Amino acid sequence: MTLARRNGIELPVRSVEEIREWFTFRDFDHFIEIYGVISKCLKTQDDFELIAYEFGAEMARQNTRYAEVTFSPAFHHHHGIADAAYLDGLSQGRKRALADFGVEIAWVFDIIRSVPDPEKNRLYSDYTTSVAIENMANGVVALGLGGGEVGYPPEMFEPYFTRARAEGLHSDPHAGEVAGPESVWAAIRLLGAERIGHGVRSIEDPLLVRYLAEERIPLEVNPTSNICLGVYPSMEQHPLRLLHEQGVIVTVNSDDPPLFNTTLNDEVALLDGVFNLDMETIDDILLNAVRHSFLPAERKAALEAEFLQQMDSLKETHLDNACNW
């Protein structure tokens, strides 16, 4: 709401309570519609710097050290925002977040797949790929693919992922959220997916589940988002636990936290809550985020060792407190 007031954007809500009611989504398309309205509140370099910096502050409050964050350049380009405004703003906010909070942010620049006009779809996809490649030195680590899956299969975007991967970017498309297992198969075979955003509908294809497990291709699972968007009717019917039990590597993520009234900590708490996983399993799932990040191997090893040490320390403190009780 601060950015809306700053930039003269009229929102249909006036309070936090009204925002939460507004963020009750009928379906995925309704989510995209509201996401678009919110994104239009970003106009200037200062706006983009603010959201990157505030994101770093929120990650620090949730004990997060490193985050790979999805951003859609073509949306802002389409609405007339100069490249320098968002690129310089994100870069400055990222630097300040690291300096002030010790939180490192990397970017996954994603193609908005659901652009109905074929020529605009091609132009925006090419634009996003070019900007991602050009900003690898400014924290862009992967090319992503977001937006509505239905009618926009992965094969439409194969040339862009081929180009990005040739330049050294990782491949991190969304698939298997609204569309079924065939979307995941295509993302792997045609886009060279190293991780799959969402991917939960892979559970519908036993062969795909086995392939994901054997090839160690992680799924970035967002439980609350999946419920809010109607992918599953309830958390009890969500397949996170079943995917893990069948050997698929899963990580826990928050998708768009404000839009789904959640936090990363809330999503992690579900592992001990509705999914009823033991502490060893929870620790393993949390470490998956480190092991399958796009950090260099030596950084991943060092970060995992540090996290293991902290986990052991927390367990010892818990045991001591239990004994004292």
**pLDDT above 90: percentage of residues in the chain:** 79
Q: Is 177 an annotated catalytic residue?
A: yes
315 has a pLDDT exceeding 90:
no
Per-residue model confidence (pLDDT) at position 41: 65
240 has a pLDDT exceeding 70:
yes
38 has a pLDDT exceeding 90:
no
Q: Give the model's confidence band at 246: pLDDT under 50 very low, under 70 low, under 90 confident, else very high.
A: very high
Question: CB of 290 within 8 A of CB of 309?
Answer: no
How far apart are the C-alpha atoms of 277 and 315, rounded to whole Å?
Answer: 16
Angstrom distances, CA of residue 272 to CA of 170, 276, 280? 31, 5, 11
Per-residue model confidence (pLDDT) at position 274: 97
Question: Among 310, 250, 258, which Cα is nearest to 51's?
Answer: 258
Per-residue model confidence (pLDDT) at position 43: 76
Per-residue model confidence (pLDDT) at position 18: 63
Any idea which architecture 43-316 has in CATH?
Alpha-Beta Barrel (3.20)
Q: Give the model's confidence band at 67: pLDDT under 50 very low, under 70 low, under 90 confident, else very high.
A: very high
User: For the residues 148-155, what does the mean pLDDT come to?
Assistant: 96
Domain assignments of the chain as residue spans, ordered by start: 1-41, 43-316
121 has a pLDDT exceeding 70:
yes
Per-residue model confidence (pLDDT) at position 258: 78
**Tens of pLDDT, residues 179-230:** 999 999 999 999 999 999 999 999 999 999 999 999 999 999 999 999 999 9
User: For the residues 101-120, what does the mean pLDDT come to?
Assistant: 97
Per-residue model confidence (pLDDT) at position 42: 78
pTM: 0.88
Q: Give the model's confidence band at 259: pLDDT under 50 very low, under 70 low, under 90 confident, else very high.
A: confident
Angstrom distances, CA of residue 200 to CA of 35, 232, 242, 273? 22, 10, 10, 19
Per-residue model confidence (pLDDT) at position 7: 59
Q: Give the model's confidence band at 20: pLDDT under 50 very low, under 70 low, under 90 confident, else very high.
A: low
Per-residue model confidence (pLDDT) at position 62: 93
Give me the catalytic one of 177, 245, 306, 316. 177
What tokens were used for 140? 């862009």
Residues in a beta bridge with 170: 142
